[in-house]
Amino acid sequence: IAYIFVDGTKIWSDAIDGKDGVGVDFTVSSTVQKGSVVDFALAPGNSDYFDKSTFTISIIGLL
């Protein structure tokens, strides 16, 4: 299970089956301020057997 939190509030999560070889693409928007904390987390879900994860992130700031 993958999670994104902004200042301690969960703004996105998704669970992907362990047999999934493709993954998911997604876009999430959030307003942050100077000093905001963005956390990216992975959890094993029901089982951590054969767990291999990649979480690639791109953050784009708009002025």
**What's the confidence (pLDDT) of residue 4?**
96
**What's the confidence (pLDDT) of residue 28?**
93
The residue to which tokens 């996105």 are assigned: 12
Indicate the pTM of the whole model.
Answer: 0.80
Structural domain range at position 58: 1-63
For the segment 44-54, what is each residue's pLDDT rounded down to a tens digit? 877 767 667 78
Cα 17 versus chain centre, distance: 15
- Strands 38-42 and 9-14, by their bridges, are unpaired
Give dist(CA 57, CA 51) in Å, integer: 19
Could you give the number of structural domains in the chain?
1
Give dist(CA 14, CA 7) in Å, integer: 19
For the segment 8-52, what is each residue's pLDDT rounded down to a tens digit? 999 999 988 777 788 888 999 999 999 999 999 988 877 767 667
Q: What single DSSP character describes residue 41?
A: E
